Structure 1
Amino acid sequence: MSCTSSSASDEDEEGIDSYRKGGYHAVRIGDPFNAGRYIAQRKLGWGQFSTVWLAYDTQSSNYVALKIQKSATQFSQAALHEIEVLSAIADGDPSNTKCVVRLIDHFKHLGPNGQHQCMVLEFLGDSLLRLIRHNHYKGLHLNKVREICKCILIGLDYLHRELGLLHTDLKPENILLFSTIDPAKDPVNSGASPILSRPESNLNGGSTMNIIEKKLKRRAKKAVAKISGRRTTMGGTTEKPERNLDGVNVRCKVVDFGNACWAAKPFAEEIQTRQYRAPEVILRSGYSFSVDMWSFACTAFELATGDMLFAPKGSQTFCEDEDHLALMMELLGKMPRKIATGGARSKDLFDRHGDLKRIRRLKYWPMNRLLVDRYKFSEDDAREFSDFLCPLFDFAPEKRPTAQQCLQHPWINCTVSINVDMKNQGVATVEKLEVGVNNLHLKARK
């Protein structure tokens, strides 16, 4: 789960049964932490290992994200690893300009369920996944995609080249905007005063003690939504209008380093969320920084189209891994035999000729044609975007461009190509100026 997001997860709540010895810490609005320095305001989200809260820092008078780990030993050890990684990131970036989330503080908190490791991080906005959803999965304007990609690449270049760190789980959920999509949800802009003590109405349970009631309400809402959706389908179109993203600040930071590792000390064979997983990870042929570049390219495609590039599914005749590799080859061409047969799992998936064992018929659809035919890109936009993305999808990991090289690519550094009618001319000119200014800042940092 992204550790500093501005709004709670869309998934079901973490479950009341997880609030027990070794599990989550039950937080109530107004609860103090670290000798009263941080005051809980509202829950932002949760993950398998932790819950995350918006908190008010009474020392700095700023809002922060408070990540509270489960108390069992294995979760505490995972938190200590993440603290080590985040401390290295913060120490190497004193000016906080590298587009990576910043650790502010860490401490231990003793509660009824045990001792919890806590991390205090800068408060950020919504995830890129929320941005994609906000835009109804239609794909963002390429100028927005370009600006987001620059931020991610600056972060990856810093992690890879300066720190020797691999993120290993890059995806839209783990990249957060600097600010909220809806300004009203920003705790500073909303104008509300921070909560500095526990409200009387919160004494009977607060935000983590009424989970079951919330679940029932959510399920009821989903049932109503499904009925409404069916009626809409029967009565007419379900197509939703594209939202206006012109006012959204798309500067962003890479977050969630719970699975990060140093390149010299990889600690897991299976890394990355399925849809963003590189072929060498599937084949177990070793990995390095280039796995993050594969995930980055998948993320860039998703931003531009609204769809995941690879969404494999297993069946009775083939496994999910084999379908995943087939999808890759349909887009990128046949995997070189040396690579296909060179991993610890290759014999399970490929024959000695480098062909998949159980999926024989592939339907090839190269990237540039996919962008034009399915996503209605112009020929020029499809060609330029494909030129940027396709090298990152090289089956040979060592041939993929580094983040530093990607930052020099013409697609990243080009000014806006104006393909608009006269009524949009003014907007395009402003965008062009904004991109030009961003380029100047990028060059200045170099």
Structure 2
Amino acid sequence: MLLPQNGRLSLRGVPRYKEHAHAEAELLREILRCDPGRQSFCVKLLGEFTHAVAHCCLVFELLDISLSDFMRDTDDRGLLLRDIRTIGSQMLQCLHFLSAMGLTHTDIKCRNAMLKDSRGDMVPHPRKDGQELKRLRRCEIRVIDFGGAVLKKERHSRHIGTRQYRSPEVVLGLAWDEKTDVWSLGCILLTLYTGQRPFPVQSSLQHLALMQRVIGT
């Protein structure tokens, strides 16, 4: 569980959580080693330390807010298509990089994509008459939260990710691979365009029914 600690993020001092935090830090260091040019759009880990014995703390580069918080702060009006294309391109580059490493993130969602700078200017909404939306001045993201990332040889049959972003094969309990991250990215892009999640569901059966309604059998 993540807790705010004077502007940092820390994990409760539970042995299992601390072990997961150390594993995520090790993975982030390997990502940084494989990405010296910083072209993967993965968050940069600056360091880690244990605070007062109980809390494992990971220190990251300075970021602004998540796409989820940005949408909430702008009344779910969505983004300009030019910004959506830029974000989509950056996230696809990230997923391509992770795939080359044999990694699946498994939890791609709006809350795990952080803007470097959320400042922007209000402009007329191109899809909703009489409304405005924010045009980002600097459209750049970082993908975060690699705690659930899985190597190819470690893939398992358990459900992964956040329900509303799960791919059909994950919902059905079938074998999955890195393409499940691409499905999740598709859900993000639809959300950024419409302002609403495409699958606001609470159960697997409801999810499958809505998938069929949206994209067909």
TM-score by length of 1: 0.45
2:111 — aligned with what?
173
Q: Is the 8 A contact 1:142 1:304 kept in 2?
A: yes
More strand by share: 2
For structure 2, the 5+ residue unaligned runs are 121-129
Paired residues for 1:209-358 under 5 Å = 242-267=131-156, 269-313=158-202, 320-334=203-217
C-alpha distance in 1 between matches for 2:154 and 2:211: 28
1:148 — aligned with what?
87
1:396 — aligned with what?
none
Q: Give the paired residue count.
A: 211
C-alpha distance in 2 between matches for 1:244 and 1:140: 7
Q: Which secondary structure state, in structure 2, belongs to the residue aligned with residue 120 of structure 1? A: strand
**Mapped pair 1:128 → 2:11:** no
Q: Is the 8 A contact 2:157 2:173 kept in 1?
A: no
Q: Which secondary structure state, in structure 2, belongs to the residue aligned with residue 291 of structure 1? A: helix
Which letter maps to 1:290? Answer: K
C-alpha distance in 2 between matches for 1:267 and 1:132: 33
Q: Is the 8 A contact 2:105 2:148 kept in 1?
A: yes
C-alpha distance in 2 between matches for 1:176 and 1:152: 11
C-alpha distance in 1 between matches for 2:58 and 2:183: 29
Over 6 Å off, 4+ runs: none
C-alpha distance in 1 between matches for 2:4 and 2:34: 25
Q: Is the 8 A contact 1:67 1:118 kept in 2?
A: yes
C-alpha distance in 1 between matches for 2:56 and 2:110: 26
Alpha-carbon displacement from aligned partner over 1:395-427 (angstroms, at most 9, x marks no partner): xxxxxxxxxxxxxxxxxxxxxxxxxxxxxxxxx
C-alpha distance in 2 between matches for 1:84 and 1:78: 10
Q: Is the 8 A contact 2:79 2:135 kept in 1?
A: no
Q: Which secondary structure state, in structure 2, belongs to the residue aligned with residue 168 of structure 1? A: coil
Which letter maps to 1:68? Answer: S
Q: Is the 8 A contact 1:136 1:243 kept in 2?
A: no
C-alpha distance in 1 between matches for 2:33 and 2:6: 24
Q: Is the 8 A contact 1:270 1:282 kept in 2?
A: yes
Q: Is the 8 A contact 1:132 1:138 kept in 2?
A: yes
Q: Which secondary structure state, in structure 1, belongs to the residue aligned with residue 9 of structure 2? A: strand
2:10 — aligned with what?
68
By how many angstroms is 1:181 displaced?
3.1
By how many angstroms is 1:165 displaced?
1.0
Q: Is the 8 A contact 2:157 2:175 kept in 1?
A: no
Which letter maps to 2:139? Answer: V
Q: Is the 8 A contact 1:131 1:181 kept in 2?
A: no
C-alpha distance in 1 between matches for 2:153 and 2:140: 31
Relative to structure 1, is the Cα distance of residues 303 and 331 closer, same or farther in structure 2, using a 3 angstrom cutoff? same
1:158 to 97, 101, 104: 97
Q: Which secondary structure state, in structure 1, belongs to the residue aligned with residue 134 of structure 2? A: coil
Alpha-carbon displacement from aligned partner over 1:274-308 (angstroms, at most 9, x marks no partner): 11011111111111101101100000000000011
By how many angstroms is 1:85 displaced?
1.4
1:51 — aligned with what?
3
C-alpha distance in 1 between matches for 2:160 and 2:88: 22
Q: Is the 8 A contact 1:100 1:255 kept in 2?
A: yes
Which letter maps to 2:36? Answer: P
Q: Is the 8 A contact 2:40 2:93 kept in 1?
A: yes
Structure with higher RCO (Cα < 8 A, 6+ apart) = 2
Q: Is the 8 A contact 1:134 1:243 kept in 2?
A: no
Q: Which secondary structure state, in structure 1, belongs to the residue aligned with residue 208 of structure 2? A: helix
By how many angstroms is 1:177 displaced?
0.6
Greater Cα radius of gyration, structure 1 or 2: 1
By how many angstroms is 1:244 displaced?
4.3
By how many angstroms is 1:247 displaced?
4.6
Relative to structure 1, is the Cα distance of residues 250 and 87 closer, same or farther in structure 2, using a 3 angstrom cutoff? same
By how many angstroms is 1:50 displaced?
2.2
Q: Is the 8 A contact 2:104 2:150 kept in 1?
A: yes
1:340 — aligned with what?
none
1:82 — aligned with what?
24
Relative to structure 1, is the Cα distance of residues 268 and 116 closer, same or farther in structure 2, using a 3 angstrom cutoff? farther
C-alpha distance in 2 between matches for 1:153 and 1:329: 25
C-alpha distance in 1 between matches for 2:78 and 2:163: 21
1:205 — aligned with what?
none
Which letter maps to 1:74? Answer: R
Paired residues for 1:391-402 under 5 Å = none
Relative to structure 1, is the Cα distance of residues 115 and 135 closer, same or farther in structure 2, using a 3 angstrom cutoff? closer
For structure 1, the 5+ residue unaligned runs are 1-48, 56-65, 183-240, 314-319, 335-446
By how many angstroms is 1:266 displaced?
2.2
1:99 — aligned with what?
41
By how many angstroms is 1:262 displaced?
1.0
Q: Which secondary structure state, in structure 2, belongs to the residue aligned with residue 117 of structure 1? A: strand
